[in-house]
A = this chain, B = another copy of it.
Amino acid sequence: MSASMSPRHHVVIIGSGFGGLFAAKRLKRADVDVTVISRTTHHLFQPLLYQVATGILSEGEVAPATREILRRRKDIRVILGEVTDIDLATHIVTSVAGEGTTTTHYDSLIVAAGATTSYFGHDEFEGHATGLKSIDDALELRGRILSAFEFAELTEDEHERDEWLTFAVVGAGATGVEMAGQISELARRTLVKDYRRIDTRQTRIVLIDALDDVLGTFGTKLSAGAAKQLQMLGIEVWLNERVVGVDDRGLTVEDQSGKRTRVPTRTIVWAAGVQASGLARTLAAQSGAELDRSGRVKVRPDVTLPGHPEVFVIGDMMTLNDLPGVAQVAIQQGKYAADEIRRRLDRKPDLPPFKYFDKGSMATISRFRAVASIGPLRFGGFAAWVLWLVVHIMYLVGFKNRVTTVFHWAVSFLGRGRAQRATTQHHLLGPHAGQGLQVPDAPTASKTSH
């Protein structure tokens, strides 16, 4: 089929995250056809992904099917595919899924492909330090974290046990703080009575950041408060320490004076950085747009690609006025792009440049403790946590699963339980899983239990 067969203006949206989904929703009743191309079939509610990684929620609760959300919108087609090329000259998007290749012609294009974990050029870290950007990442981390306690219980080697009972979280932004806090809750509440040889309360959690505060974006006062709360949870907070080496037995950090310190650990959570989807490079190469250090496209004030007013680049893929990489930016840019497309079709004047309305930000530290920054207001503790709860429940009500989610929260915040401790076999037998039953050639230690 050729594009000329399409009688209506065709908007192609790449990505089903916050930016892509809200752009699609906003195009309701516009005189356009919409195609959403995504490499996943779900919309991922990333701010709660850490709860999947730590066994509070199931993957279905944070990842409703995109086509289910958009079911009533007969003007929208959702297709599965990883976009491998965008041809700005011919307006063709190429995507692959399975054995097939799909090409899609657009009149307007909204590129909202997000970002992936960045190891700052150290790709060799990836196998040892797991990021938290996808359902796969969350299930991988859940398996690694819960298995660590299993291996600690098994080993009779004291050093090895200490390694398994040490967790390093790299990056003290919201995700890092939330992961450190939840690992602490797992170790000091959920799992306390489950083991016989190890005392999970002895678990060591080290939160590491190259900068000089935790939750830096929340301002000095809240940062200091958050650091103190983390320390009260038994979490070591190491600031101004840069990770210079990662292997399967630990990591090495370097402070500003060049002094190196080793953290022996088997489990490393990498919440340190993101890099834009590789599609940013594809767009830059053809348009001459600049990329910043994180590979994000420098967009025009109306979030379009320079020289290509028909191409919008939104969310974590773009950089503009130092906007933070948060859901609200992507959502507001998605709506802005949709509105702008609609105005053009209606031959109305262009919108004024995109302006971000900061609704505030929040991060939970543990149950009952959070920090919030809303306009001039900055506060922490229980009040911030209640606000976090209300805002997230309200948001989820827009989708699905809120009843079970609220129930799972009650179980884990009021009780000690976690509903989702099941992991795949793959993780549980460690590095040799899936390799059959052979006893490894060189076991590190032969142990006799009982």
Contacts and interface: CB of A to CB of B under 8 A. Distances in A.
A272 interface: no
Contacts of A194: 65, 67-68, 71
A376 interface: no
A10 interface: yes
Nearest to A105: B450
Interface in A402-450: 403-404, 407-408, 417, 419-426, 428-432, 437-440, 443-450
Contacts of A185: none
Interface in A195-247: 195-197
Interface stretch (A23-31, A36-44, A347-355, A360-368): A36-44
A100 to B, nearest CB: 6
A430 B154 contact: no
A343 interface: no
A256 B321 CA distance: 74
Contacts of A35: 449-450
Contact of A40 (B60, B417, B425, B439): B425
Nearest to A278: B437
A175 interface: no
A123 interface: no
A33 B134 CA distance: 42
A278 B436 CA distance: 12
A103 interface: yes
A99 B425 contact: no
A440 B97 CA distance: 10
Given A71-B193, A417-B400, A423 B99 contact: no
A430 B98 contact: yes
Given A41-B421, A443-B101, A429 B80 contact: yes
Given A68-B194, A407-B404, A450 B77 contact: yes
Contacts of A154: 79-81, 97-98, 100, 102
A97 B151 CA distance: 8
A74 interface: yes
Contact of A421 (B60, B139, B151, B429): B60
15 contacts: A35-B450, A63-B422, A68-B194, A71-B194, A77-B449, A79-B449, A80-B153, A97-B429, A97-B430, A98-B431, A99-B430, A102-B448, A103-B446, A400-B419, A404-B404
Interface of A: 1-3, 6, 10, 33, 35, 39-42, 55, 58-65, 67-68, 71-72, 74, 77, 79-82, 84, 94, 96-105, 134-136, 139, 146-147, 150-151, 153-155, 193-197, 278, 400-401, 403-404, 407-408, 417, 419-426, 428-432, 437-440, 443-450
Given A97-B430, A101-B447, A404-B404, 17 more contacts: A10-B450, A33-B450, A41-B423, A58-B58, A68-B421, A80-B154, A96-B439, A97-B151, A98-B430, A99-B444, A100-B151, A100-B155, A100-B445, A100-B447, A101-B439, A102-B449, A105-B448
